[in-house]
Amino acid sequence: MAPIESVERAGANGQRSGDEEQAPTAQETHPKTLSSDQLAPQSLTQSKSKRWLFSIALVTVLIVSVIAITRSSSLIRRRVTQPTAPRSLAILPLQNLKQDPNSDFLGFSLADAVITKLDYVSSLTVRPSAAVEKYRDRPIDIQSVGADLKVDTLLAGSFIRDGDNLRISYQLIDVKSEKILGRGMMDLKYDDILRVQDTVAAQIIQKLELSLSPSEAERIKPAPPINPLAYEYYLRGVDLHSQHKFPMAIKMLEKSTEIDPNYALAWAYLGASYTSDAAFELGGREQYRRQHTYNFLWHHIPPGFRRLFPQSYPQSYTQIRESQIQGKRHTGHRHTLSR
């Protein structure tokens, strides 16, 4: 029995030896760990790739920045060399809601007062009173009026007078979009009517975001006090002058200058009315003699008002008569209207 057990024991030992030879070692079951020398080439390659990509990105950003700066500089130069055109505005005669003939003169003359006030502002082109006079007491179509007057902005409004009380409402309108840029309403006493031109002009400047030079800002300040009755006669004279009723305009303006001799605009319109009356009503040498007197007063009118009323030089009665026979009209005044 002993030999058999020895054989069996030996066979068992031989089988275990074979199994041990066939079993994988620990080094064979786990991947080999690479040394730092083996990893160095791969890490160096990845680092170079990252630096290359970063360099490309940096160059791209620099190129885009240079293009953006170049375009911005070009736009700035273009704005400096080609400034935008001034905004254009037409101030239409106010509509009389009460249909009171005795107050009708306010519609055109108040619009003229605001036009005169804004004449100082170089960043705004305002249509003269002669261009808007035809729209008194007429319904307003924004697009057609804007196209006719070649403006991008309109000021339209209305008024109603009840005894000593006056209410004025107005809208500032963008012609293209018909959007209301600003609106206002004023309730005031009739004797305080001079405030209208200052208030409306200030709101136009604000809503259109106009830039004023120091001298323009000084000139656009509220007008000095004027005798209310003298101002009313002046407004009536302006309205009559616009309708070519020169003799009646002269009477109103003479009353204005008698009450307030320091009101320069009344003198300017009075001189223009004498010229126009002599030209169209054949008033003759007497009217021109008076015009000589008012030409002297011309030099005392503020420069801003002179641009509204260019100085007209007297002509002889014979010259006027001949020019009328030939069908020529000599107005000598920017606000003299043609129908």
With respect to residue 16, please indicate whether it lies within any of the assigned structural domains.
no
Eight-class DSSP state of 104:
T
Q: How far is CA 143 from CA 124, 125, 158, in A?
A: 20, 18, 19
In a domain, 156, yes or no: yes
> Has residue 262 been placed in a domain?
yes
Q: Is residue 266 part of a domain?
A: yes
Same domain, 208 and 301: no
Q: What is the pLDDT of residue 302?
A: 52
Residue 59 and residue 52 in contact, taking contact as beta carbons nearer than 8 Å: no
Q: Are residues 106 and 145 in the same domain?
A: yes
Reading the chain (339 residues) residue by residue, the pLDDT tens digits are: 444 444 445 454 544 444 444 545 544 444 455 455 554 555 556 666 667 666 776 767 677 676 767 676 655 555 544 456 789 999 999 999 988 899 999 999 999 999 999 988 999 999 999 999 999 988 899 999 999 999 999 999 999 999 999 999 999 999 999 999 999 999 999 999 999 999 999 999 999 999 899 998 888 888 788 999 999 999 999 999 999 999 999 999 999 999 999 998 999 899 888 888 877 655 555 555 555 555 545 555 555 554 444 444 333 333 333 433 333 333 333 333 332
Are residue 95 and residue 147 in the same domain, yes or no? yes
Last residue of a domain, one of 185, 219, 253: 219
Q: Nearest 5 degrees, angle CA 138-CA 134-CA 130?
A: 145
Angle between helices 317-325 and 264-280 (to 10 degrees): 60
Per-residue pLDDT, 84: 63
Spatial CA neighbour of 115 closest among 200, 228, 215, 242: 200
Q: Is the dihedral of CA 4, 5, 9, 15 positive or negative?
A: positive
pTM metric for this prediction? 0.62
- Number of residues in the chain: 339
Among 256, 229, 313, CA closest to 279: 313
pLDDT (0 to 100) of residue 323: 38
Within a domain: residue 48? no
In a domain, 172, yes or no: yes
Q: Are residues 105 and 188 in the same domain?
A: yes
**pLDDT at site 336:** 34
Q: Does 91 share its domain with 215?
A: yes
Q: What is the predicted pLDDT for the residue at 224?
A: 85
Residues 265 and 186 in one domain: no
Helical H segments across 119-263, by residue range: 129-132, 142-149, 195-207, 214-219, 228-242, 246-259
Same domain? For 233 and 212 the reply is no
Task: Tell which phi-psi region holds residue 296, choosing left (phi > 0), alpha (psi between -120 and 50) or beta.
Answer: alpha
Give the largest CA-CA distance in the chain. Answer: 172
Does residue 267 contact residue 254 with C-beta atoms inside 8 Å? no
CA separation for the pair 101, 190 (Å, rounded): 16
> Structural domain of residue 321, as residue ranges?
228-325
Same domain, 92 and 196: yes
Map residue 95 onto helix, strand or coil. strand
User: Is residue 79 included in any domain, yes or no?
Assistant: no
- Answer yes or no: do 160 and 263 share one domain: no
The one-letter amino acid code at 213 reads S
Please count the structural domains in the chain.
2
Token duo for residue 314: 């007297």
Q: For residue 151, give the CATH number of its domain.
A: 3.40.50.10070
Do 108 and 133 touch, CB atoms closer than 8 A? yes
In a domain? residue 339: no
Whether 204 and 249 map to the same domain: the answer is no
Residues 240 and 313 in one domain: yes
The answer on 239 and 159 residing in a single domain is no
DSSP, res 82:
S
Q: Which of these three, 193, 219, 245, is where a domain ends? A: 219
**Domain containing residue 305: CATH number:** 1.25.40.10
**Domain end among 192, 219, 246:** 219
pLDDT at 220: 86
Burial 242-252 (b: 16+ CB within 10 A, else e): beebbebbbbb
